[in-house]
Amino acid sequence: MSFMGFPISKLFLYFILYSFLGWVMETCYCSIMERRLVPRGFLYGPICPIYGGGVTLMILFFTPLKKNLVLFYVVAVVVMTSWEYFVGWVLEVTTHVKYWDYSQYRFNLKGRVCLWVALTWGVLSYIVIFFIHPPIQSLMEDIPVWLEFMLCGAFLALLAVDATLTIRNLVLVAMHVESVAQLGQELQLQVALGKAELGDKLEDSAAALRERYSDQIAQLEKYTRRFRNAYSTMRAGYRYSVSHEDILAAAALAKEELLRRKDALKSFRAKR
């Protein structure tokens, strides 16, 4: 079975190999920049699928452009930057967490991609397709078919287990991020009502709410520890805030309740 002229088994082995090489490159770079060991990647294993997927795209679509270097570079920049943006967007939408952020650099797009990284993708694509991939492709051609299928089966099983564990962790992270954000919104509302001298309405639940908030923060720190070690810039992908309308609505409800109790007290005194 093949895809665009390439056997799927070989494409999968390319994906695994370049995911590993990408992990090595990112880990070395980030470890040097942060002066500590930074094992990059979402998965537990030493691979970064964004690089494996990216180089697979290079092999499939960039190889025919080798004779036109200008077109090759432009297409590489556009395709690889789009790929990075897509992966970042999917992770933010599914987990509510931003794992890398280029907002501090000029000419960035929502912090997911930026100009200098996009241009670097073009250079990396050139290096991979012209210098790194040819000898690797020659080595792959020498692998017996039976060994190729055995390696695919073994790596596929390991990847499936790793991905399952990671997805479970990401789901827990997403749940706790949302829970923390919602509890934080409730706490902000408490403060707002307190400033409006209506804080007594929420005094009974304040301690319990703060305890729940602290517990959720602890759980979030537990489940994101590995990701925070790999991505020091990770942060919540969105923020909750209390609007002026929220405060007015809560204040109106509290005022209504106070008036109701006041009327009830008057009626009770009148009957006595």
Cβ contact 236:181 at 8 Å? yes
pLDDT at 257: 58
pLDDT at 82: 94
245: exposed, middle or buried (C-beta count within 10 Å: 0-12, 13-18, 19+)? exposed
Cβ contact 16:31 at 8 Å? no
**Tokens 């599914």 sit on residue:** 94
Q: Is the pTM of this model over 0.85?
A: no
| DSSP sequence for 50-107 | HHHHHHHHIIIIIGGGTT-HHHHHHHHHHHHHHHHHHHHHHHHHHHSEES---TTSSS
pLDDT at 196: 47
Look up residue 89 and give its two tokens: 């967007």
Cβ contact 39:183 at 8 Å? no
SS3 1: coil
In order along the chain (272 residues), what is the average pLDDT of each group of 10 residues?
82 93 88 82 83 89 87 92 91 76 90 93 91 91 90 93 81 62 58 51 54 60 56 52 50 60 69 64
